[in-house]
A = this chain, B = another copy of it.
Amino acid sequence: MFNLGKAIPFEDKPNDLLTVGELLVDMISNEYGDAFECDGYTRYFGGSPSNIAINVNKLGIRSYVASAVGRDGLGTFLEKGLQNAGMDTSGIQRVEESTSMVVITKSQETPIPIFYRGADSELAYNDSLEQALIRSKIVHFSCWPISRVPSRYTVERVIEKAREHKLLIGFDPNYHPLIWQKGEDGVSYVKSIIPKVDIIKPSEDDAERLFGPGTPAEQVERFLELGAKLVVMTLGKEGAMVSNGMEILTFDTKATEIEDTTGAGDAFWSGFYAAVVKGYTIKEALELGFAVSAYKLKFTGAVVNLPTLEVLKKQFDL
Protein backbone atom coordinates (compact mmCIF):
# COMPACT_ATOMS: atom_id res chain seq x y z
CA MET A 1 0.00 0.00 0.00
CA PHE A 2 1.22 3.50 -0.83
CA ASN A 3 1.71 5.80 2.12
CA LEU A 4 0.75 9.19 0.72
CA GLY A 5 2.90 11.03 3.24
CA LYS A 6 6.05 9.16 2.31
CA ALA A 7 8.44 9.06 -0.61
CA ILE A 8 8.58 5.97 -2.85
CA PRO A 9 11.87 4.13 -2.30
CA PHE A 10 13.79 3.36 -5.52
CA GLU A 11 16.88 1.28 -6.09
CA ASP A 12 19.74 3.16 -7.70
CA LYS A 13 19.42 2.66 -11.47
CA PRO A 14 21.01 4.37 -14.47
CA ASN A 15 17.68 5.56 -15.88
CA ASP A 16 14.65 7.04 -14.13
CA LEU A 17 11.65 6.66 -16.45
CA LEU A 18 11.03 4.29 -19.35
CA THR A 19 7.93 5.02 -21.42
CA VAL A 20 6.60 2.27 -23.68
CA GLY A 21 4.11 2.63 -26.49
CA GLU A 22 2.64 4.83 -29.21
CA LEU A 23 4.77 7.27 -31.17
CA LEU A 24 2.70 8.74 -33.96
CA VAL A 25 1.88 11.64 -36.22
CA ASP A 26 -1.01 13.92 -35.32
CA MET A 27 -2.33 15.30 -38.62
CA ILE A 28 -4.46 18.26 -37.55
CA SER A 29 -6.60 20.52 -39.74
CA ASN A 30 -5.48 24.13 -39.87
CA GLU A 31 -8.97 25.55 -39.53
CA TYR A 32 -12.22 24.66 -37.91
CA GLY A 33 -14.88 23.35 -40.21
CA ASP A 34 -16.93 20.35 -41.11
CA ALA A 35 -15.83 17.51 -43.35
CA PHE A 36 -15.69 19.41 -46.61
CA GLU A 37 -14.47 22.83 -45.59
CA CYS A 38 -10.89 22.47 -44.53
CA ASP A 39 -8.29 20.85 -46.76
CA GLY A 40 -5.11 22.13 -45.08
CA TYR A 41 -3.49 19.96 -42.41
CA THR A 42 -0.30 20.16 -40.39
CA ARG A 43 1.59 17.18 -39.07
CA TYR A 44 2.74 17.19 -35.45
CA PHE A 45 4.92 14.96 -33.33
CA GLY A 46 2.55 12.90 -31.16
CA GLY A 47 2.09 10.06 -28.70
CA SER A 48 1.94 10.43 -24.97
CA PRO A 49 4.92 8.17 -24.01
CA SER A 50 7.32 10.39 -25.93
CA ASN A 51 5.67 13.57 -24.69
CA ILE A 52 6.10 12.40 -21.09
CA ALA A 53 9.70 11.31 -21.67
CA ILE A 54 10.59 14.69 -23.19
CA ASN A 55 8.79 16.54 -20.38
CA VAL A 56 10.50 14.71 -17.51
CA ASN A 57 13.84 15.38 -19.13
CA LYS A 58 13.10 19.09 -19.02
CA LEU A 59 11.97 18.75 -15.41
CA GLY A 60 15.31 17.24 -14.52
CA ILE A 61 15.18 13.40 -14.52
CA ARG A 62 16.47 10.82 -17.03
CA SER A 63 14.13 9.11 -19.50
CA TYR A 64 14.09 6.65 -22.38
CA VAL A 65 11.42 5.76 -24.94
CA ALA A 66 10.53 2.37 -26.48
CA SER A 67 8.25 2.74 -29.51
CA ALA A 68 7.84 1.43 -33.06
CA VAL A 69 7.54 3.56 -36.19
CA GLY A 70 7.52 2.67 -39.89
CA ARG A 71 10.48 2.59 -42.24
CA ASP A 72 9.03 5.65 -43.93
CA GLY A 73 9.31 9.42 -44.02
CA LEU A 74 6.91 9.94 -41.14
CA GLY A 75 8.91 7.50 -39.01
CA THR A 76 12.04 9.50 -39.77
CA PHE A 77 10.18 12.70 -38.90
CA LEU A 78 9.26 11.28 -35.47
CA GLU A 79 12.71 9.89 -34.77
CA LYS A 80 14.28 13.25 -35.65
CA GLY A 81 11.71 14.98 -33.45
CA LEU A 82 12.93 12.95 -30.49
CA GLN A 83 16.56 13.64 -31.37
CA ASN A 84 15.85 17.37 -31.63
CA ALA A 85 14.41 17.18 -28.10
CA GLY A 86 17.72 15.69 -26.96
CA MET A 87 16.42 12.13 -26.54
CA ASP A 88 18.28 8.88 -27.14
CA THR A 89 16.41 7.10 -29.96
CA SER A 90 18.06 3.68 -29.70
CA GLY A 91 14.76 2.31 -28.30
CA ILE A 92 12.82 3.28 -31.44
CA GLN A 93 12.11 0.19 -33.55
CA ARG A 94 11.65 0.66 -37.31
CA VAL A 95 9.11 -1.85 -38.66
CA GLU A 96 7.34 -2.80 -41.91
CA GLU A 97 3.96 -1.22 -41.14
CA SER A 98 3.23 2.44 -41.91
CA THR A 99 3.93 4.93 -39.12
CA SER A 100 0.77 5.30 -37.03
CA MET A 101 -1.24 8.48 -37.47
CA VAL A 102 -4.25 10.25 -36.00
CA VAL A 103 -6.14 12.64 -38.28
CA ILE A 104 -8.05 15.34 -36.45
CA THR A 105 -10.33 17.78 -38.20
CA LYS A 106 -10.98 20.66 -35.79
CA SER A 107 -14.60 21.39 -35.26
CA GLN A 108 -16.68 23.62 -33.03
CA GLU A 109 -18.15 20.46 -31.54
CA THR A 110 -15.88 17.71 -30.25
CA PRO A 111 -13.39 16.86 -32.97
CA ILE A 112 -13.63 13.16 -33.82
CA PRO A 113 -10.20 11.67 -34.39
CA ILE A 114 -9.61 9.11 -37.14
CA PHE A 115 -7.11 6.46 -36.09
CA TYR A 116 -4.61 4.83 -38.44
CA ARG A 117 -2.93 2.09 -36.44
CA GLY A 118 0.18 0.75 -38.08
CA ALA A 119 3.73 0.53 -36.80
CA ASP A 120 2.98 1.46 -33.19
CA SER A 121 1.22 -1.84 -32.49
CA GLU A 122 4.19 -3.81 -33.85
CA LEU A 123 6.39 -2.88 -30.86
CA ALA A 124 8.40 -6.02 -30.06
CA TYR A 125 9.80 -7.23 -26.77
CA ASN A 126 13.51 -7.63 -27.45
CA ASP A 127 16.80 -7.61 -25.58
CA SER A 128 17.23 -3.88 -25.94
CA LEU A 129 13.80 -3.24 -24.41
CA GLU A 130 14.50 -5.69 -21.58
CA GLN A 131 17.82 -3.99 -20.80
CA ALA A 132 16.17 -0.56 -20.82
CA LEU A 133 13.56 -1.89 -18.42
CA ILE A 134 16.04 -3.42 -15.98
CA ARG A 135 18.00 -0.16 -15.97
CA SER A 136 14.95 2.00 -15.10
CA LYS A 137 13.10 2.94 -11.89
CA ILE A 138 9.68 3.53 -13.41
CA VAL A 139 7.86 2.21 -16.48
CA HIS A 140 4.82 3.91 -18.00
CA PHE A 141 2.31 2.96 -20.70
CA SER A 142 -1.21 3.83 -21.86
CA CYS A 143 -4.07 1.89 -23.46
CA TRP A 144 -2.58 2.21 -26.96
CA PRO A 145 -0.06 -0.64 -26.91
CA ILE A 146 -2.41 -3.00 -25.06
CA SER A 147 -5.27 -2.36 -27.49
CA ARG A 148 -3.65 -4.38 -30.30
CA VAL A 149 -1.37 -7.34 -30.77
CA PRO A 150 1.56 -7.92 -30.88
CA SER A 151 2.34 -4.78 -28.80
CA ARG A 152 -0.04 -6.10 -26.14
CA TYR A 153 2.17 -9.16 -25.64
CA THR A 154 5.14 -6.83 -25.35
CA VAL A 155 3.45 -4.86 -22.57
CA GLU A 156 2.45 -8.06 -20.79
CA ARG A 157 6.10 -9.12 -20.70
CA VAL A 158 7.13 -5.60 -19.68
CA ILE A 159 4.77 -5.76 -16.68
CA GLU A 160 6.10 -9.16 -15.65
CA LYS A 161 9.75 -8.11 -15.92
CA ALA A 162 9.04 -4.76 -14.22
CA ARG A 163 7.51 -6.60 -11.25
CA GLU A 164 10.52 -8.87 -11.06
CA HIS A 165 12.90 -5.89 -11.05
CA LYS A 166 10.77 -3.81 -8.68
CA LEU A 167 9.97 -0.93 -11.03
CA LEU A 168 7.10 1.39 -10.24
CA ILE A 169 4.45 0.84 -12.95
CA GLY A 170 2.23 3.70 -14.14
CA PHE A 171 -0.71 3.03 -16.45
CA ASP A 172 -2.96 5.56 -18.18
CA PRO A 173 -6.33 3.79 -18.58
CA ASN A 174 -7.33 6.11 -21.46
CA TYR A 175 -9.66 3.51 -22.92
CA HIS A 176 -11.33 4.45 -26.20
CA PRO A 177 -13.29 1.88 -28.22
CA LEU A 178 -12.00 3.32 -31.55
CA ILE A 179 -8.39 2.37 -30.89
CA TRP A 180 -9.27 -1.09 -29.73
CA GLN A 181 -8.80 -4.29 -31.69
CA LYS A 182 -12.04 -4.91 -33.58
CA GLY A 183 -14.35 -7.53 -32.11
CA GLU A 184 -12.68 -7.64 -28.71
CA ASP A 185 -13.99 -6.50 -25.33
CA GLY A 186 -11.41 -3.84 -24.51
CA VAL A 187 -13.14 -2.89 -21.27
CA SER A 188 -12.57 -6.31 -19.71
CA TYR A 189 -8.96 -6.33 -20.79
CA VAL A 190 -8.25 -2.87 -19.37
CA LYS A 191 -9.89 -3.93 -16.10
CA SER A 192 -7.67 -7.01 -16.00
CA ILE A 193 -4.53 -4.85 -16.27
CA ILE A 194 -5.43 -2.44 -13.46
CA PRO A 195 -4.52 -4.76 -10.52
CA LYS A 196 -1.15 -5.50 -12.17
CA VAL A 197 0.10 -1.90 -12.06
CA ASP A 198 0.89 0.56 -9.27
CA ILE A 199 -0.60 3.87 -10.31
CA ILE A 200 -3.47 4.73 -12.63
CA LYS A 201 -4.72 8.18 -13.65
CA PRO A 202 -8.20 7.89 -15.14
CA SER A 203 -10.17 10.94 -16.27
CA GLU A 204 -13.91 11.09 -15.66
CA ASP A 205 -14.46 10.12 -19.31
CA ASP A 206 -12.13 7.12 -18.97
CA ALA A 207 -14.04 5.98 -15.87
CA GLU A 208 -17.40 6.37 -17.58
CA ARG A 209 -16.24 4.39 -20.63
CA LEU A 210 -15.05 1.59 -18.32
CA PHE A 211 -17.82 1.54 -15.68
CA GLY A 212 -20.69 3.71 -16.90
CA PRO A 213 -21.80 6.84 -15.04
CA GLY A 214 -21.02 7.54 -11.37
CA THR A 215 -19.83 10.22 -8.98
CA PRO A 216 -16.07 10.67 -8.72
CA ALA A 217 -16.06 8.93 -5.33
CA GLU A 218 -18.01 5.98 -6.79
CA GLN A 219 -15.65 5.69 -9.75
CA VAL A 220 -12.55 5.82 -7.55
CA GLU A 221 -14.10 3.08 -5.41
CA ARG A 222 -14.72 0.93 -8.51
CA PHE A 223 -11.07 1.20 -9.53
CA LEU A 224 -9.99 0.26 -5.99
CA GLU A 225 -12.34 -2.74 -6.00
CA LEU A 226 -10.63 -3.95 -9.17
CA GLY A 227 -7.35 -3.95 -7.25
CA ALA A 228 -5.90 -0.53 -8.10
CA LYS A 229 -3.23 0.55 -5.61
CA LEU A 230 -3.17 4.29 -6.21
CA VAL A 231 -5.94 6.01 -8.18
CA VAL A 232 -5.49 9.58 -9.37
CA MET A 233 -8.80 10.57 -10.87
CA THR A 234 -8.69 13.89 -12.71
CA LEU A 235 -11.84 16.00 -12.75
CA GLY A 236 -10.99 18.84 -15.17
CA LYS A 237 -11.59 22.21 -13.57
CA GLU A 238 -12.87 20.43 -10.45
CA GLY A 239 -9.33 19.29 -9.69
CA ALA A 240 -8.69 15.66 -8.77
CA MET A 241 -9.54 12.92 -6.30
CA VAL A 242 -6.82 10.53 -5.17
CA SER A 243 -7.04 7.37 -3.13
CA ASN A 244 -4.71 4.63 -1.97
CA GLY A 245 -7.65 2.55 -0.71
CA MET A 246 -7.36 3.86 2.84
CA GLU A 247 -7.63 7.60 2.52
CA ILE A 248 -9.05 9.96 -0.07
CA LEU A 249 -7.40 13.27 -0.92
CA THR A 250 -8.99 15.95 -3.04
CA PHE A 251 -7.01 18.54 -4.97
CA ASP A 252 -8.21 21.83 -6.38
CA THR A 253 -7.04 22.68 -9.85
CA LYS A 254 -3.99 24.93 -9.97
CA ALA A 255 -4.87 26.17 -13.46
CA THR A 256 -5.35 29.91 -13.72
CA GLU A 257 -5.29 30.28 -17.49
CA ILE A 258 -6.40 27.69 -20.04
CA GLU A 259 -5.00 28.17 -23.53
CA ASP A 260 -4.98 24.52 -24.70
CA THR A 261 -5.76 21.29 -22.82
CA THR A 262 -3.76 19.01 -25.18
CA GLY A 263 -1.16 17.11 -23.16
CA ALA A 264 -2.36 18.35 -19.76
CA GLY A 265 -2.68 14.78 -18.47
CA ASP A 266 0.80 13.89 -19.73
CA ALA A 267 2.13 17.01 -18.02
CA PHE A 268 0.65 15.73 -14.75
CA TRP A 269 2.34 12.35 -15.17
CA SER A 270 5.61 14.15 -15.98
CA GLY A 271 5.57 16.31 -12.86
CA PHE A 272 4.52 13.40 -10.67
CA TYR A 273 7.24 11.07 -11.98
CA ALA A 274 9.94 13.73 -11.77
CA ALA A 275 8.92 14.47 -8.18
CA VAL A 276 8.81 10.87 -6.94
CA VAL A 277 12.23 10.23 -8.47
CA LYS A 278 13.56 13.34 -6.74
CA GLY A 279 12.36 11.94 -3.41
CA TYR A 280 9.25 14.00 -2.75
CA THR A 281 6.42 12.33 -0.83
CA ILE A 282 3.52 11.02 -2.91
CA LYS A 283 1.32 13.90 -1.73
CA GLU A 284 3.99 16.43 -2.72
CA ALA A 285 4.51 14.66 -6.03
CA LEU A 286 0.78 14.87 -6.74
CA GLU A 287 0.85 18.62 -6.00
CA LEU A 288 3.85 19.01 -8.31
CA GLY A 289 2.13 16.97 -11.01
CA PHE A 290 -0.88 19.26 -10.91
CA ALA A 291 1.43 22.27 -10.96
CA VAL A 292 3.17 21.05 -14.14
CA SER A 293 -0.24 20.41 -15.69
CA ALA A 294 -1.43 23.93 -14.78
CA TYR A 295 1.75 25.39 -16.27
CA LYS A 296 1.23 23.44 -19.53
CA LEU A 297 -2.37 24.64 -19.83
CA LYS A 298 -1.13 28.21 -20.37
CA PHE A 299 0.52 27.23 -23.67
CA THR A 300 -0.53 25.63 -26.96
CA GLY A 301 0.77 22.18 -27.90
CA ALA A 302 1.26 18.82 -26.20
CA VAL A 303 4.90 19.47 -25.30
CA VAL A 304 5.76 22.96 -24.06
CA ASN A 305 8.98 24.47 -22.86
CA LEU A 306 8.83 23.40 -19.19
CA PRO A 307 11.23 24.86 -16.61
CA THR A 308 12.84 22.52 -14.07
CA LEU A 309 10.72 21.04 -11.30
CA GLU A 310 12.42 23.26 -8.73
CA VAL A 311 11.50 26.44 -10.62
CA LEU A 312 7.91 25.26 -10.95
CA LYS A 313 7.81 24.38 -7.26
CA LYS A 314 8.67 27.98 -6.38
CA GLN A 315 6.29 29.42 -9.01
CA PHE A 316 3.41 27.48 -7.52
CA ASP A 317 4.42 28.11 -3.89
CA LEU A 318 4.84 24.41 -3.10
Which residues of A are interface residues toward B (Cβ below 8 A)?
27, 34-36, 39-44, 70, 72-74, 76-77, 80-81, 96, 98-99, 101, 103, 105, 112, 114-116, 118, 182
In the assembled complex, which residues on chain B have CB atoms less than 8 Å from the CB atom of A81? 36
B76 touches A101 (CB 8 A): no
Is the Cβ of A36 less than 8 Å from the Cβ of B116?
no
Known contacts A41-B41, A42-B40; decide if A112 and B73 are in contact (CB<8 Å): yes
Contact partners of A80 in chain B: CB under 8 A = 35-36
Contact partner of A72 among B34, B44, B74, B112, CB < 8 A? B112
Minimum CB–CB distance from A293 to chain B (whole Å) comes to 26
Copies of this chain per assembly:
2
Question: By DSSP majority rule, is chain A's interface helix, strand, loop, or mixed?
Answer: mixed
Chain B residues within an 8 Å CB radius of A34: 73, 76
Chain B nearest CB from A106 CB (Å) reads 10
Chain B hits for A39, CB < 8 A:
42-44
**Partner of A116 from B35, B73, B77, B118 at Cβ < 8 Å:** B118
A115 CB contacts on chain B under 8 angstroms: 98
Q: Quick check: B41 and A73 within 8 Å, CB to CB?
A: no
> Quick check: B96 and A116 within 8 Å, CB to CB?
no
Contact check, A35 vs B103: say whether CB atoms are below 8 A apart: no
